[in-house]
Structure 1
Amino acid sequence: MTILVTGGAGYIGSHMVLSLLGAGREVVVLDDLSTGFRWAVPDEAAFVEGDCGDEALVADLMRRHGVTAVIHFAGSIVVPDSVTDPLGYYLNNTVKSRSLIACAVETGVKHFIFSSSAAVYGEPEKTPIGEEAPLAPISPYGTSKMMTELMLRDAAAAHDIAYGALRYFNVAGADPGGRSGQSGARATHLIKVASQAATGERVGLEIFGEDYPTPDGTCIRDYIHVSDLAHAHLLTLRHLEQGGGDLVLNCGYGHGYSVREVIDAVKRVSGVDFPVAMAPRRAGDPAALVAGADRIRGVLGWQPAHDDLDTIVAHALAWEGALKARRTAAA
């Protein structure tokens, strides 16, 4: 009854590992460490360094560890980068996911949970966005996620495997106990970047576009705490293991904040002012993405524990302090 977590040394994956271990589950992590960190994986989890697209490695790992479920986080996530490198994103997010699904089918894995994205919706016609909304991604990143969802749907129809596709909105914050957080050097997530500005890790930040059709002209996003997201995965796993059937779920709180509101929150919680400059819009950025969150609450009974912007920001700021201490200790 081992759970394979791909990308388990990364931001969301490491929180998933903590959640699984806390629930008493056996965990093996597969990560190529291209963006993740070996130190982010707890000693209680087995660790294999490798590529989730390496079918020989993955199939052997699944058999040796007796894997019964896969939770798949490995992939590339920067929307603007997907616009300039679409083939790289289709390789990393779609082709390699296909290989992972094929290995799961070959080795008899019964459950597969996929890290999808609200980017599959593109520019939604209305918000909040329900799961039944048309899939119309406007970036190769969103398309790569949609294609993997379709592969899972078709594989589940043809084989003895059940899946959950969780469509994330904007993931933020860090483990409340300070055990993990967003640690990548090239982070582009707003709360992470603003927290770096508040702690002196960067001079300031830019707002990409102030002419969107929103109340203050900046993009609106639904920010979900990473620990609440990990708990949603754990509930999805239990649902599948109990024979509950395939699931497609939005993962968000059902309300959003603008870029300016988030920056104000970081300044307020940190007590630090920092420079903010205006910049042109980025390719692939919709004006507003807010989750319709009724299905995840109704089907899974999911009750978020950290649905508060200031709490999310406080945990992100605390993690930046922990990262600074780690760098100082290593110097």
Structure 2
Amino acid sequence: MSGSTVLVTGGAGYIGSHAVLALLDAGRPVVVMDNLVTGMRWAVPEAVPFQEGDIADMDLVGDVIARHQVGAIMHFAGSIIVPESVENPLKYYRNNTAASRALIEAAVTGGVSHFIFSSTAATYGTPEVSPIDEDAPQRPINPYGMSKLMTERMLEDVAAAHPMNFAALRYFNVAGADPKGRSGQSTVGATHLIKVAVEAATGKRGHVGVYGTDYDTPDGTGVRDYIHVSDLAAAHLAALEALEAEPARNLKLNCGYGRGASVLEVLDAVDRVTNMSIERRIEGRRAGDPAALVAANDRILSTLDWRPARDDLGQIIADALAWERQLAERRS
């Protein structure tokens, strides 16, 4: 093993559990903290120390940092559903912004040196140009994006005042599952398109909703940049190594592949992978959804020792489908 212990908040959730696997595969000591509201206890490997609790509990977080000699935090805990954030903004400012503030204070008090934050392309709002680079204006159009942007700003200010550096990784659309079948998206009631589509392919849903066909895109449906969750987890490990190598450096990086697929293109790909024809139902637009979100990923490629290994929509879908079938067996 090498390096100090990494605390992974939300490590029983979808992306957090894959980051834990990436850290373990690299021989890094890990401890997980999760309140299990949406996370699954079984998603955390048995060998990994686990603390059930809320990141807003500064005394508990401080105890975990001290007991496990935590030197870095990967922060995934939070709420992530855009339409829900429009309907219930205070939930998002509590779970994402206020709770992150408490976590950051506990990190500073506990002498944590490095902080990697799970941010989002939603901080850009409706982009003026596509693909979006990291210097694009950050003007969120929903409380989810704003709650994440506020945390980015807190980290900037804290890093200027204290001996802690940070990376804000702005995710585009995360999908797929661990190729070895160790973890995947298990959240009940998930809203991500590929997850919904593979649920439909395995009979868990009767159809897939297509929310809006009148966007200014080639086929009228929303365009997104889909990144494989294992590639994203690898980016977190690479970001941690970069922060450790240069303690005075902070990073703000897009995490995507640099090209988008529309809703209809994704569903066509799911039909090909499954050799099925999944029912599609046209619905109205959802609140807070921009027409297209595609990453300019030049900066992450030039900054980190990271290259996508699973940059293929069909492979992303196949891994998601394999996990969904595994989940069905687990629940049967």
TM normalised by structure 1 equals: 0.98
Matches within 5 A, 1:44-123: 44-123=47-126
Question: What secondary structure is seen at the aligned counterpart in 2 of 1:71?
Answer: strand
CA distance in 1, matches of 2:172, 2:283: 23
Matches within 5 A, 1:1-331: 1-243=4-246, 245-328=249-332
Query: Any unmatched runs of 5+ in structure 2?
Result: none
In structure 2, what residue type is equivalent to 1:246?
Answer: N
In structure 2, what residue type is equivalent to 1:62?
Answer: I
Question: What secondary structure is seen at the aligned counterpart in 1 of 2:191?
Answer: coil
Question: What secondary structure is seen at the aligned counterpart in 1 of 2:73?
Answer: strand
Q: For 1:213-259, what per-residue CA distance to the aligned partner results, in whole angstroms no more than 9, with x for missing partners?
A: 00000000000000000000000000011116100000000000000
Q: For 1:277-324, what per-residue CA distance to the aligned partner results, in whole angstroms no more than 9, with x for missing partners?
A: 100000000000000000000010321000000000000000010000
CA distance in 1, matches of 2:329, 2:12: 20
Question: What secondary structure is seen at the aligned counterpart in 2 of 1:113?
Answer: strand
Give the C-alpha shift of residue 205 in structure 1: 1.1
Give the C-alpha shift of residue 275 in structure 1: 1.1
Give the C-alpha shift of residue 140 in structure 1: 0.1
TM normalised by structure 2 equals: 0.98
CA distance in 1, matches of 2:101, 2:190: 26
Question: What secondary structure is seen at the aligned counterpart in 1 of 2:152?
Answer: helix
Q: For 1:153-191, what per-residue CA distance to the aligned partner results, in whole angstroms no more than 9, with x for missing partners?
A: 000000000000000000000000000000011100000
Q: For 1:24-73, what per-residue CA distance to the aligned partner results, in whole angstroms no more than 9, with x for missing partners?
A: 01100000000000000001211000001100100111011100000000
- Native 8 Å contact 1:3 1:71 kept in 2: yes
CA distance in 2, matches of 1:64, 1:254: 41
- Report runs of 4+ in structure 1 exceeding 2 Å deviation: none
Q: For 1:79-105, what per-residue CA distance to the aligned partner results, in whole angstroms no more than 9, with x for missing partners?
A: 000000000100000000000000000
* Aligned pairs, number: 328
- Native 8 Å contact 1:21 1:44 kept in 2: no
CA distance in 2, matches of 1:184, 1:88: 18
- Native 8 Å contact 1:172 1:191 kept in 2: yes
Identity of aligned residues (%): 63
CA distance in 2, matches of 1:99, 1:186: 28
In structure 2, what residue type is equivalent to 1:112?
Answer: F
Query: Aligned-residue CA RMSD in angstroms?
Result: 0.6
